[in-house]
Amino acid sequence: AHAMGQRPITFLRQVVALCTYPNLLDSPSFPEDAKERARRILQGCGGNSLGSYTASQGINCIREDVASYIERRDGGVPADPDNIYLTTGASDGISAILKILVSGGGKSRTGVMIPIPQYPLYSAAISELDAIQVNYYLDEENCWALNVNELRRALNEAKAYCNPKVLCIINPGNPTGQVQNRKCIEDVIHFAWEEKLFLLADEVYQDNVYSEGCQFHSFKKILYEMGPEYYNNVELASFHSTSKGYMGECGYRGGYMEVINLHPEIKGQLVKLLSVRLCPPVSGQAAMDIVVNPPVPGEESYAQFIKEKESVLNNLAKKAKLTEDMFNKIPGIHCNPLQGAMYAFPRIFIPSKAIEEAKAHKMAPDMFYCMKLLEETGICVVPGSGFGQREGTYHFRMTILPPVEKLKILLEKVKDFHIKFLEKYA
Ligand SMILES: Cc1ncc(COP(=O)(O)O)c(C=O)c1O
């Protein structure tokens, strides 16, 4: 986001600056609420310095702030700081949890169910661990919805060659941008309960919801609302990050995971595993604290904070709609609504002559398309084959991060390119 010109949230940077260089605590240029946050974080650090290692699970007071944030977000559903682990971005948490879940050999090797299209961290982590990737397909005709019948199909087929134990959900979706409704989440949780699957809920885009009528529901909240049979049994790890939302602070590598119903001995193993990397970056932990503990009404920085946050999110919402509308005006491109996250994943029609030429170059057809787009316009998008897609369909993923004016020019260029491409390979 920042690479595309998005400005950092002032309050977050003020607190991190104060933590990094505490002499600034005497400066009149910093607001009192930022200083108060910084002092609290520094008190949680060894020697009052960000330069000390912290506990492997993360600084206590920040884990408490994360738990309070989750409780507020989920309408009072309790969260225990002991179940919170601060991480090096969400990626670190996801890899760590997968690491402790994967075991067995041959047909009993752990299968990990992931959506297709997926964010490639999942296929990469699964491959690194030599686990078995089990694909379930999102329903493109239905705005990339997740259908439990498809989960069941994938699970039953996978049981023939592995031991499917983990179900990953990305909500809102990357690269597909869908936001799951409450009923869908309930169905998924019921399915996980029935099949005794460990749920991984990747919720890093929880603040990025744009379409009217769409709302973010956390898996944790719905799990609780489904009653004790579910919330006392279903194992769930959910993930959040400083990287997305309105912050876009991916360089700080801040994140957390909340883990529910993990056996105490496994929790011990998880801490041991996390302690191999000593601790997550402490500046990232501080940044995560501001995401979960931002200025509140009545505090000096509140007005500016809300203005900045809303400006980023309103802008993203505008760009989501603009992108969807522009793509859908181009013949041979269809784009589902960008309900959330930061990407468009339009389906593109590639003529058979272009497919043949791609094959001659030993390239996937959408890779060929994306390379041509790059060569002819300088626009870099990612071919759908990098995320997975139904056989015979082609897509690309594009972020909606460039500023509105630039995005309009970019979309016009994609349109001109696409029309010429169709003519050339007609
Ligand atoms: C769905 C999803 N999960 C996880 C991540 C990784 O985020 P982080 O920077 O917090 O490691 C990303 C980053 O793009 C993502 O899109």
DSSP string across 284-335: HHHHHHHHHS---TTSTTHHHHHHHHHHHHHHHHHHHHHHHHHHHTSTTEE-
The whole-number pLDDT of residue 347 equals 97
The whole-number pLDDT of residue 220 equals 98
Q: What is the pLDDT of residues 173-208, one digit of tens each?
A: 999 999 999 999 999 999 999 999 999 999 999 999
Listed in sequence order, the DSSP H helices in 44-143 are 60-73, 89-101, 121-128
H or E segment and range at residue 253? none
What value does the mean pLDDT of the chain take?
Answer: 97
- The mean pLDDT of 95-110, rounded to a whole number, is 96
- The mean pLDDT of 31-40, rounded to a whole number, is 98
The whole-number pLDDT of residue 75 equals 97
Given the structure tokens 């809303």, which residue do they identify?
310
Given the structure tokens 């719905």, which residue do they identify?
222
Residue 250 C-alpha to ligand 1 middle, in angstroms? 9
Residue 275 C-alpha to ligand 1 middle, in angstroms? 22
* C-alpha atoms less than 13 angstroms from C-alpha of 423 in its C-beta half-sphere: 6
* C-alpha atoms less than 13 angstroms from C-alpha of 117 in its C-beta half-sphere: 28
Q: Which of 139, 72, 66, 127 is nearest to 102 (CA)?
A: 127
Given the structure tokens 């500023």, which residue do they identify?
403
Residue 205 C-alpha to ligand 1 middle, in angstroms? 9
- Provide the 8-state DSSP code for 242: S
Residue 241 C-alpha to ligand 1 middle, in angstroms? 7
Strand order in the sheet with 198-202: 84-88, 254-260, 236-241, 198-202, 163-170, 110-116, 132-137
Position in ligand 1 atom list of the atom nearest CA 88 = 11
Q: Which of 345, 341, 327, 330 is nearest to 386 (CA)?
A: 345
Residue 65 C-alpha to ligand 1 middle, in angstroms? 21
Q: Which of 123, 102, 68, 96 is nearest to 280 (CA)?
A: 96
Q: What is the pLDDT of residues 127-170, one digit of tens each?
A: 999 999 999 999 999 999 999 999 999 999 999 999 999 999 99
- Nearest protein Cα to ligand 1, atom 7: 90
- Give, for ligand 1, the residue of 121, 176, 399 to mutate: max count of ligand atoms closer than 8 Å to Cβ: 121
DSSP string across 402-420: S-HHHHHHHHHHHHHHHHH
pLDDT-derived band at 110 (thresholds 50, 70, 90) equals very high
Q: Cα Rg for the chain, rounded, in angstroms?
A: 22
Residue 288 C-alpha to ligand 1 middle, in angstroms? 14
- The mean pLDDT of 335-342, rounded to a whole number, is 97
Position in ligand 1 atom list of the atom nearest CA 92 = 11
Alpha-carbon span 147 to 339, nearest angstrom: 17
- Give, for ligand 1, the residue of 98, 118, 119 to mutate: max count of ligand atoms closer than 8 Å to Cβ: 119
Burial class (CB in 10 A: 0-12, 13-18, 19+), 17: middle
Residue 371 C-alpha to ligand 1 middle, in angstroms? 25
Ligand 1 proximal residues by C-beta, below 6 Å: 89-91, 119, 121, 170, 174, 202, 204, 241, 243, 250, 255
The whole-number pLDDT of residue 360 equals 96
Q: Which of 34, 83, 77 is nearest to 63 (CA)?
A: 83
- Give, for ligand 1, the residue of 2, 92, 171, 244 to mutate: max count of ligand atoms closer than 8 Å to Cβ: 244
